[in-house]
């Protein structure tokens, strides 16, 4: 650390002195997200609501990084922390200027309700692309790195990050306001809580957001088991808790858990939910009159909130972050970091050798599809305003023009409707797409989703499913367009723009489908990154942070939160594309895997392996370790991700890679939710993906195995 962080005790003492001078009304005025000013105490008004899932959001111009699911696909915590640092710099740059102009509106404060560390347990969930995928370890590792980047390492917090949504929240969107989840103790401890625990104990996250849903019959903002026993007593969390927006209103309206709003706000504060992201604190005087709460309990919540603000520099004259200038926002350096992240996020799912494209062999390219020229698809949701959007079409056109390659463009079809022009017949852009393909050497087909049909409840384009998907198929006429173009015997490169898994009606095996690459929602410079990768300036190197299933029929009901048959750790069937999978433009071989520095209690161990770039392209590869306890009834059915490392390899280069493992690699969870390290043998699988047969067939790389005994 470059400075000694102000102690929480010192900040709490300052906050306590402020609270002791406040009237009851002044204290109540601090308990909603749009906190009131107290001019006589030099406490300005403050709005706690801000967003930064992948860049500063909803507050004007800022660098737009790839959506969170794409950042997870990087498998690169070091890069993730750099991104967090840049996001917090931009946030401070904007906040400093806003404050100077007296603008303390929503989305302009320093408390950011990010990251979303919920587990993407079901591919139908519309908000899954806000998360870091389906695996607890990847989510925890990526989330902690982002939190550290956001919060900084100086005397004061750079920003206050917030781990959300606590807990057991991942759809369906349409019933989230009144839904109850009864997770098994095993699923809770093994899947739903680890990323939050890591955020608190490793990331020292300043805030936690309580979810909309109930857990074991108790709405999350009132859930003392979660907020007191787990969060504060077991994990020793010392920051503040905020409700999701309107979640406290839901307690009476949809959960029917309380009889009055006064009862709700009293129970929430007593349970440890300090900040109401809603408008129920007006009922606190009624709650006091009915003896539902004490002023001492109110004081505790206000003190925790003001402690956060003191840690952020409230009243300070020596906060170096106050000196961050406006020019540090949306800078060329920040754009370059976003571009590098985008390269790392792309996941190459198929390549028959067509990629990278050779400009000298091409006279024309068809760029087709409803997401090819879309700026919405670049952004994802909870995004800032980019100053420099480069769509996929624009990026390819720019690169092609330099090489004197003609670009033939057609929208092909609507994103989800059966026609583009309302007065036209169905499939009104299909013939144009076919013509463009017929007159081109290769087809780049851009299909998928965007955040208007895959996202949070209320997204207009998908009102019938509240932002969720009903299945994994391409929407509208996209599948039909794909099949029509494949029938032309032209090589087709499919670019998937989506934040979740899709299926292609078995067309992924069609020989004319020469390559498939998932580019997610790639950020403002997504089109430039696509062109650079297609033409070989960079190799794709991302790995899937989610499973691509064959069908939704193999999955349990969407409302079933049990992990059985879900995600790579529990699924019995072969995946369409497995978690952890992704190709590069080269090939690698692994050799000489072994274990070293093994602690007797398995608190730590190292896995060492040699990796050689045997192909013809400089690449970055992600070496992964999966662990499973042998003959242990409490182990997950399939090995779990326990470690990974991104490695740069020049052509022909061999590197010795050491992957440190923590006790997590060897832990199992029993049915009572107890975490322990069993006696016996553990199999550690080292590869560039999982050690399953499907991954081996797709990558052509055989994973290695080593054993550890306890």
- The single residue listed with the structure tokens 């710099």 is 89
Distance from C-alpha of 626 to C-alpha of 644, rounded to nearest angstrom: 9
Q: Which long-range contacts (CB under 8 A, 24 or more apart) does 358-364 make?
A: 358/536, 359/403, 359/405, 359/535, 360/403, 361/441, 362/400, 362/403, 362/405, 362/441, 362/442, 363/405, 363/406, 363/441, 364/405, 364/406, 364/407, 364/408, 364/439, 364/440, 364/441
Element (H, E) at 662: strand 654-662
Distance from C-alpha of 580 to C-alpha of 574, rounded to nearest angstrom: 14
Where does residue 93 fall: left (phi above 0), alpha (psi -120 to 50 degrees), or beta otherwise?
Answer: alpha
Quick one: angle between helices 136-151 and 77-100, nearest 10? 40
Per the CB < 8 A criterion, the answer to whether 95 and 110 are in contact is yes
Where does residue 489 fall: left (phi above 0), alpha (psi -120 to 50 degrees), or beta otherwise?
Answer: left
User: What is the DSSP pairing of strand 588-596 with strand 619-629?
Assistant: unpaired
Q: Which of 85, 122, 187, 244 is catalytic?
A: 244
144: closest CA among 78, 192, 228? 78
If you ran DSSP here, which 8-state letter would residue 188 be given?
I
**Distances 41 to 298, 432, 582 between C-alpha atoms, Å:** 19, 67, 56
| Complete DSSP assignment for 38-73 | BGGGTB--EE-----SSS--SSSB---PPPHHHHHH
Verify whether residue 244 is a known catalytic residue: yes
**Distances 687 to 264, 604, 607, 668 between C-alpha atoms, Å:** 51, 20, 11, 22
The residues carrying an active-site annotation are: 244
């Amino acid at each position: 650390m470059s400075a000694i962080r102000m102690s929480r005790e010192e900040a709490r003492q300052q906050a306590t002195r402020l609270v002791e001078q406040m009237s009851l009304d002044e204290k109540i005025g601090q308990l909603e997200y749009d906190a009131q000013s107290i001019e006589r105490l030099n406490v300005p008004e403050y709005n706690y609501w801000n967003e930064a899932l992948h860049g500063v959001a909803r507050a004007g111009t800022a660098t737009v990084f790839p959506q969170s699911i794409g950042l997870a696909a990087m498998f690169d915590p070091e890069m993730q922390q750099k991104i967090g640092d840049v996001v917090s710099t931009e946030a401070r740059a904007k906040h400093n200027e806003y404050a100077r102009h007296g603008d303390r509106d929503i989305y302009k404060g320093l408390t950011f309700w990010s990251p979303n560390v919920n587990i993407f347990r079901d591919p139908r969930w519309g908000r899954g692309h806000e998360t870091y995928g389906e695996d607890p370890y990847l989510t925890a590792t990526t989330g902690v790195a982002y939190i550290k980047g956001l919060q900084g390492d100086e005397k004061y917090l750079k920003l206050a990050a917030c781990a959300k949504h606590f807990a057991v929240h991942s759809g369906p969107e349409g019933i989230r306001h009144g839904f109850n989840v009864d997770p098994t103790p095993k699923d809770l401890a093994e899947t739903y809580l680890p990323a939050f625990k890591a955020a608190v104990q490793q990331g020292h996250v300043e805030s936690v957001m309580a979810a909309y849903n109930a857990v074991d019959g108790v709405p999350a903002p009132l859930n003392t088991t979660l907020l007191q026993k787990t969060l504060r007593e077991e994990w020793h969390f010392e920051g503040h808790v905020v409700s999701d927006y309107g979640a406290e209103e839901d307690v009476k309206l949809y959960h029917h858990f309380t009889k009055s709003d006064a009862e709700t706000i009293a129970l929430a504060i007593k349970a440890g939910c300090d900040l109401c992201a809603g408008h129920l604190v007006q009922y606190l005087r009624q709650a006091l009159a009915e003896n539902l709460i004490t002023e001492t309990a109110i004081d505790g919540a206000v003190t925790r909130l003001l402690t956060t603000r003191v840690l952020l520099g409230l009243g300070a004259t020596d906060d170096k972050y106050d000196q961050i200038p406006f020019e540090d926002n949306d800078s060329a350096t920040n754009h370059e970091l976003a571009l590098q992240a985008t390269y790392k996020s792309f996941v190459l799912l198929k390549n028959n050798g067509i990629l990278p494209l050779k400009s000298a062999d091409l006279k024309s390219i068809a760029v087709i599809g409803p997401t090819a020229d879309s700026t919405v698809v670049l952004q994802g949701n909870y995004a800032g305003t980019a100053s420099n959007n480069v769509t996929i079409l624009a990026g390819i056109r720019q690169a092609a023009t330099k090489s004197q390659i003609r670009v033939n463009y057609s929208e092909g079809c609507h994103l989800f409707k059966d026609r583009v022009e309302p007065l036209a017949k169905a499939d009104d852009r299909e013939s144009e797409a076919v013509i463009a393909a017929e007159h081109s050497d290769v087809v780049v087909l851009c299909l998928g989703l965007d955040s208007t049909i895959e996202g949070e409840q209320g997204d207009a384009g998908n009102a019938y499913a509240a932002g969720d998907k009903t299945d994994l198929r391409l929407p509208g006429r996209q599948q039909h367009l794909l099949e029509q173009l494949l029938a032309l015997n032209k090589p087709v490169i499919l670019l998937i723009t989506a934040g979740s898994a899709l299926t292609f009606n078995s067309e992924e095996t069609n020989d004319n489908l020469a390559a498939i690459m998932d580019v997610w929602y790639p950020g403002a410079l997504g089109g430039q990154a696509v062109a650079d990768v297609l033409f070989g300036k960079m190799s794709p190197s991302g790995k899937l942070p989610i499973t691509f299933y064959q069908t939704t029929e193999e999955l349990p009901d969407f409302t079933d939160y049990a992990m059985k048959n879900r995600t790579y750790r529990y699924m019995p069937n072969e995946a369409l594309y497995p978690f952890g999978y992704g190709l590069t433009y080269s090939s690698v071989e692994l050799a000489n895997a072994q274990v070293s520095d093994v602690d007797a209690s398995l608190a730590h161990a190292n896995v060492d392996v040699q990796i050689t770039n045997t192909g013809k392209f400089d690449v970055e590869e992600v070496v992964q370790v999966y662990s499973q306890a042998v003959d242990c009834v409490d182990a997950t059915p399939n090995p779990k991700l326990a470690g990974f490392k991104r490695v740069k390899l020049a052509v022909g280069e061999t590197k010795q890679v050491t992957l440190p493992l923590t006790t997590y690699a060897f832990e199992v969870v029993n049915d009572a939710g107890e975490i322990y390290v069993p006696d016996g043998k553990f199999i550690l699988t080292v590869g560039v993906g999982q050690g399953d047969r499907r991954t081996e067939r797709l990558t052509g790389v055989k994973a290695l195995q080593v054993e550890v005994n306890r």
